[in-house]
Amino acid sequence: MEDHIIIGVDLHGEWVENPTRCTWRSKGRETVPIKISENVTYDELVDIIVSRIRNDLDLRFFLDDQSRPILRISVVEKIIETTNSVVNDEDHPVTMDIPINEEASLHSISTQGSRYTDDDGTDFYKGKIFKDKQELTKLLKLASVKKDQTFKSVKSSKDVYCARCVDQNCDWWLRATKLKSCNRFEITKYRNIHSCGAQHLTSHHPHASADVIAEYIQPNYLNGKGPSTKDIKNIVQADLGCKISYWKCWKSNEIAKAMIRGTPEHGYAVLDGYRHMLMTINEGSKTSLKLDDKGRFKYFFASYGAWIRGFVHMRKVLAVDGTFLRGRYDGVLLSAVAQDTENHVFPVAFCVVDKECDTAYDYFFEKLLDIVLDTSELCIISDRHPSIEKTLSKFYSEAYHGCCTRHLGENAQVADYLENVGFHKWSRAYFPGNRYDVLTSNIAESVNAMFNEAREFPIIALFNDISKRWSEKFHERRMAYAKLKTTFVPSTETKIMANKNLGNKLLVHQIDEDTFSVTADNGIAMVHLRSKICSCREFDLDKIPCQHAMAALRHKFGDEYGKMIYEYSSPYYKVESYILAYADPIYPVPAEEFWNLPLEILERVIPPPEKKTKLGRKRLKRVPTIGEVVSKKRNKCSLCKRFGHKKTSCPTRSNEVAGTSNGVVS
């Protein structure tokens, strides 16, 4: 005779997504009974349930999704075929635990609506399963802090964990045992009522450790930098009602960041695997990893395939800059970015190096040369860092190098420098190449500001944030411009209309088939349409007809000159080119447990760079460049609203006091 069991499947509920787990919230106590063999296999069990309940799509989804715990089954009745009676087993329910993958450790799925669940507000109940004993104890401590109760461990072994209230006369009790098939622990006995008084309560809860606080605050780090140490102290005081020291807040902050983003050491250790997955998921990407003589991390370069293919449709002007990282091992993030025709930043490549020096920029431009060719059309804008000037002449001899005019304007010795460096480095009119309207490296500075918070992340978390931000930007811009019906992008259309209105008021004299003399208020301009140049230099620099070229086009083509405006403009300004630049999506690298790596990469562990400990507090603000004028905060008087003095030393106040004193004396 074969024994059978009847299982109850709960269909009346919904899946609730939390930052740390996925929980089944039951909306009723009714279950669908299904009779199965006691020795049923897992695959047979899934087939039986799916065939029995064919219309339940949610059930089918969670059965097929191998990244989550599948289901939990409680035996309601046990049928012995040798007898005709049915035996209820409510006091000692038998459970069937389906082995699940370890990556779903934080997801607890249960039939909370069953007769065996008695929720006390702590999300603990009989039958709940935890990843391991460590997770069980951590969540138990967090629950005790929330409920302002204290417990102590009675037994803690490899297979059993028991806890009871610190009050010997209290009825609260918990027992959990290890499952045979894996390292998970299940609550087998649970009395959730505290019958003790308040004599054990303290302002500093004994279970409010740094690990427990980190477990509670970690959802705050999922998006962004996370709370500060002071904020953590206020959160714990407001939400949990206990006081913790500043050191414990700082420690909790470090643990929570490591739980979400990983440690800096682990980021370097698996960087080669991350690089492999990045290139596998994003076709056409270019990455490079360089180690020092001791086998430690030195440089990491990355450029996504979507960036490389999109730059083909961009104006060939790059802005290069570096910003320091604030992580445990410091470093510098070098970036090469472009500017689209709507003045948006377009990424090209990022590289993490130890510092800004000749060797670092040699490596950066050597790898950049693989994705951005050295042509006379290319223009590179940067600040006055000497290593950039030296390295560009080695790898980009055909391209032109321009200086950022904003950095020149902030320099105290700007006059002497402008004479020494030459007009072709900073003047748009004398520049031998074509930098369009990109006069500064502000687009690179904008990227530095965009990742201001991420600059303290571990290296993998940093590049994950870079991927996430640009993926959102690409999708946003692609969708925004896909429905445009104009030929050129909106900002260019606006400029064309402005030049067109100005050109309608100018006098034109045709010299030959393509050469025109245009008279304006500020003088006479010569326009050559075939060469697309004008003596004002705006036509040949912006690649859009200026007001003089507009007048010449109207004179030559008459009523058809409106269509010819686009023929005499650069195709970079077309909406089609803009959409093609952002056409390819950027795919994020999945979590580490889902990586599929070759054995040689899997076994490769990269040590972090050598850390040079410096005395004093770490510097968080940038170091001004040589000659840069740093603006200092000036005092502003609240009485006269002038700068240079305070209210107490204001001359107006002194005169008023003097006049009052004279009046009293008289």
At 632-653, the pLDDT tens digits run 667 888 888 888 888 888 887 7
Side chain identity at residue 75, one-letter code: V
pLDDT at 8 over 80: no
Judgement on whether residues 299 and 346 belong to the same structural domain of the protein: yes
Last residue of a domain, one of 102, 117, 132: 117
Counted residue by residue, the chain has a size of: 666
Contact by Cβ (8 Å): 194, 149: yes
Judgement on whether residues 99 and 63 belong to the same structural domain of the protein: yes
> 529 in helix, strand or coil?
coil
Q: How confident is the model at residue 91 (pLDDT cuts 50, 70, 90)?
A: very low
pLDDT at 416 over 50: yes
Contact by Cβ (8 Å): 225, 260: no
C-alpha to C-alpha distance for 130 and 97, rounded to whole angstroms: 12
pLDDT at 548 over 80: yes
Judgement on whether residues 250 and 221 belong to the same structural domain of the protein: yes
Of 4-18, 83-97, 136-150, 571-585, which one has max mean pLDDT?
Answer: 571-585
pLDDT the model gives residue 402: 73
pLDDT the model gives residue 308: 95
Long-range contacts of 280-283 (CB under 8 A, 24+ apart): 280/596, 281/587, 281/588, 281/589, 281/590, 282/306, 282/586, 282/587
pLDDT at 556 over 70: yes
Number of independent structural domains in the chain: 5
Contact by Cβ (8 Å): 22, 14: no
Encode burial over 572-608: b for 16+ CB neighbours within 10 A, e otherwise. bbbbebbbebbebebbebeeeeebebeeeeeebebeb
Q: Is 367 part of any domain?
A: yes
> 177 in helix, strand or coil?
strand
pLDDT at 666 over 50: no
Q: Is 139 part of any domain?
A: no
Contacts of 200 by beta carbon, 8 Å cutoff, 6+ apart: 150, 166, 167
**Alpha-helical segments (H) within 380-516:** 386-395, 405-409, 414-421, 442-450, 459-481, 490-503
C-alpha to C-alpha distance for 645 and 651, rounded to whole angstroms: 9
Is the model more confident about 563 or about 308? Answer: 308
> 287 in helix, strand or coil?
strand
Can you say how many angstroms the Cα of residue 63 is from the centroid of all Cα atoms in its chain?
A: 31
Judgement on whether residues 288 and 230 belong to the same structural domain of the protein: no
C-alpha to C-alpha distance for 91 and 532, rounded to whole angstroms: 91
**Alpha-helical segments (H) within 148-209:** none
For the ranges 1-10, 96-105, 617-626, the lowest mean pLDDT is seen at 96-105
Q: What is the pLDDT of residues 322-362, one digit of tens each?
A: 888 988 888 999 999 998 888 888 999 999 999 889 999 99
Q: Is 617 part of any domain?
A: no
For the ranges 192-206, 230-244, 562-576, 598-612, the lowest mean pLDDT is seen at 192-206
Judgement on whether residues 443 and 309 belong to the same structural domain of the protein: yes
- Report residue 31 as tokens: 């279950």
C-alpha to C-alpha distance for 304 and 629, rounded to whole angstroms: 37
pLDDT the model gives residue 103: 36
**Alpha-helical segments (H) within 200-317:** 210-217, 229-235, 246-261, 264-269, 271-281, 305-311
Judgement on whether residues 44 and 84 belong to the same structural domain of the protein: yes
Q: Do the strands 173-178 and 95-97 form a parallel or antiparallel pair, or are they unpaired?
A: unpaired
C-alpha to C-alpha distance for 492 and 233, rounded to whole angstroms: 52
pLDDT the model gives residue 90: 37
Judgement on whether residues 285 and 257 belong to the same structural domain of the protein: no
- What does R_g of the chain's alpha carbons equal in angstroms? 35
Contact by Cβ (8 Å): 115, 140: no
C-alpha to C-alpha distance for 357 and 386, rounded to whole angstroms: 9
Contacts of 46 by beta carbon, 8 Å cutoff, 6+ apart: 63, 70
pLDDT the model gives residue 464: 92
pLDDT at 114 over 60: no
**Location of structure tokens 């960041």:** 257
Q: How confident is the model at residue 87 (pLDDT cuts 50, 70, 90)?
A: very low
pLDDT the model gives residue 463: 94
> Which bin fits 241, alpha (ψ -120 to 50), beta or left (φ > 0)?
left
Q: How confident is the model at residue 488 (pLDDT cuts 50, 70, 90)?
A: very high
**659: containing domain:** 634-666
> Which bin fits 558, alpha (ψ -120 to 50), beta or left (φ > 0)?
left
Q: Is 164 part of any domain?
A: no
Confidence (pTM): 0.69
pLDDT at 611 over 50: yes
In percent, how much of the chain has pLDDT > 70? Answer: 72
pLDDT at 102 over 50: no
Q: Is 192 part of any domain?
A: no
Q: Is 183 part of any domain?
A: no
Q: Is 295 part of any domain?
A: yes
Judgement on whether residues 332 and 255 belong to the same structural domain of the protein: no
pLDDT the model gives residue 204: 76
pLDDT the model gives residue 359: 93
Contact by Cβ (8 Å): 253, 226: yes
Burial category of 165 from C-beta neighbours within 10 Å (exposed 0-12, middle 13-18, buried 19 and up): buried
Is the model more confident about 267 or about 65? Answer: 267
C-alpha to C-alpha distance for 71 and 62, rounded to whole angstroms: 8
Judgement on whether residues 254 and 307 belong to the same structural domain of the protein: no
pLDDT the model gives residue 13: 66
Q: How confident is the model at residue 490 (pLDDT cuts 50, 70, 90)?
A: very high
Can you say how many angstroms the Cα of residue 283 is from the centroid of all Cα atoms in its chain?
A: 21
pLDDT at 88 over 80: no
C-alpha to C-alpha distance for 388 and 425, rounded to whole angstroms: 14
Contact by Cβ (8 Å): 309, 297: no
Q: How far apart are the first and last CA of the chain?
A: 122
Judgement on whether residues 517 and 556 belong to the same structural domain of the protein: yes
Judgement on whether residues 323 and 420 belong to the same structural domain of the protein: yes
Q: Do the strands 173-178 and 185-191 form a parallel or antiparallel pair, or are they unpaired?
A: antiparallel
Last residue of a domain, one of 573, 597, 614: 573
pLDDT at 516 over 50: yes
Element of type H or E holding 365? helix 358-368
Judgement on whether residues 96 and 244 belong to the same structural domain of the protein: no
Last residue of a domain, one of 550, 573, 596: 573
Strand partners, 190: 174
- Residue 317 CB neighbour total at 10 angstroms: 22
- Report residue 608 as tokens: 């972090």
Exposure on the CB side of residue 623, measured as CA atoms within 13 A: 10
